[in-house]
């Protein structure tokens, strides 16, 4: 049953390609894809409109050691965009296996496998209850999929950018290395830059600021977390742009 009291109705969920690795060194762990698909299905069943951007780091990244050995950064980045399309197609398949209606939109024309990105078409798909997967980043080199997520979220009028990670939010230190690290419940956007908190890259954060888009970082690997985020529960770390609020708030 749809929940009319969701805090966030239209969301852009950013997932990393590396998250799909599982215990592998390369490729896609389809059990992880299936888990993510179930989480998205719960969100859609609750009444949320969900769009996704996924990286390609499990296959190829332009800024990886392999990419930096190439003579052209632009060429390497285009290869990275193609890697995101492989992941996007795999994600689309997993979502449809979970019973969802989807559309795959690409920033680079690939008419045999995806629709071209058209802003109004993407919004119409969301209004009809379809899950929209954005592939090929921004379609331009030198921009990350974090920036693509911020750009697409702004274009479709999303309420929030959700960044799904493998940790419970943004911490005072790396929680996987420092057991005393504490989670930020919320952070003012300027503090993200000043503290070098690595929420998203600088271009993405700047674009989110200009659009007034909050960013919520949470653990996508915890079952039910996406639904809790939509409900407004104390999950993850909210990066906000309210100058009147406290710069940082620890959980």
186 assigned to a ligand binding site: no
140 assigned to a ligand binding site: yes
17 assigned to a ligand binding site: yes
14 assigned to a ligand binding site: yes
55 assigned to a ligand binding site: no
Give the residue carrying structure tokens 């296996």: 97
Tokens describing residue 116: 């071209």
56 assigned to a ligand binding site: yes
**Residue 76 main-chain phi, psi, to 5 deg:** -65, -40
129 assigned to a ligand binding site: no
16 assigned to a ligand binding site: yes
224 assigned to a ligand binding site: no
91 assigned to a ligand binding site: no
206 assigned to a ligand binding site: no
The crossing angle, in degrees rounded to 10, of helices 73-97 and 30-45 is 60
141 assigned to a ligand binding site: yes
Cβ atoms of residues 53 and 81 within 8 Å: no
139 assigned to a ligand binding site: yes
232 assigned to a ligand binding site: no
Residues near 16 by beta carbon (within 8 Å), at least 6 away in sequence: 54, 55, 57, 164, 165
DSSP per-residue letters across 91-159:
HHHHHHHTT--EEEEESS--TTT-EEP-HHHHHHHHHTT-EEEEESTTSSTT--HHHHHHHHHHHHT-S
201 assigned to a ligand binding site: no
61 assigned to a ligand binding site: yes
144 assigned to a ligand binding site: yes
Q: Which residues are annotated as a binding site for ATP?
A: 14-17, 57, 61, 165, 171, 174
Q: Which residues are annotated as a binding site for UMP?
A: 56, 77, 138-145
Q: Which residues are annotated as a binding site?
A: 14-17, 56-57, 61, 77, 138-145, 165, 171, 174
């Amino acid at each position: 049953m749809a929940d009319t009291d969701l805090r966030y109705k239209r969301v852009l969920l950013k997932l990393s390609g590396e998250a799909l690795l599982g215990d592998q060194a390369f490729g896609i762990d389809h059990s992880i894809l299936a888990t993510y698909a179930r989480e998205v299905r719960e969100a859609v069943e609750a009444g949320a409109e969900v769009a996704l951007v996924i990286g390609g780091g499990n296959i190829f990244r332009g800024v990886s050691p392999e990419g930096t050995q190439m003579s052209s950064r632009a060429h390497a980045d285009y290869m990275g965009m193609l890697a995101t399309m492989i992941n996007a197609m795999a994600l689309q398949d997993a979502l449809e296996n979970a019973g969802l209606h989807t559309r795959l939109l690409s920033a680079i024309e690939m008419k045999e496998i995806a629709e071209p990105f058209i802003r109004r078409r993407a919004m119409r798909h969301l209004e009809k209850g379809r899950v929209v997967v954005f592939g090929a980043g921004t379609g331009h080199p030198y921009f990350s999929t974090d920036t693509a997520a911020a750009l697409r979220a702004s274009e479709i009028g999303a309420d929030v950018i959700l960044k799904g990670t493998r940790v419970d939010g943004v911490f005072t230190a790396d929680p996987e290395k420092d057991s005393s690290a504490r989670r930020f419940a919320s952070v003012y956007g300027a503090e993200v830059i000043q503290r070098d908190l690595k929420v998203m890259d600088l271009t993405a954060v700047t674009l989110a600021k200009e659009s007034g888009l909050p960013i919520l970082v949470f653990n996508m690997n915890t079952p039910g977390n996406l639904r809790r985020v939509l409900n407004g529960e104390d999950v993850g770390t909210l990066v906000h742009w309210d100058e009147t609020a406290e710069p940082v708030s620890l959980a």
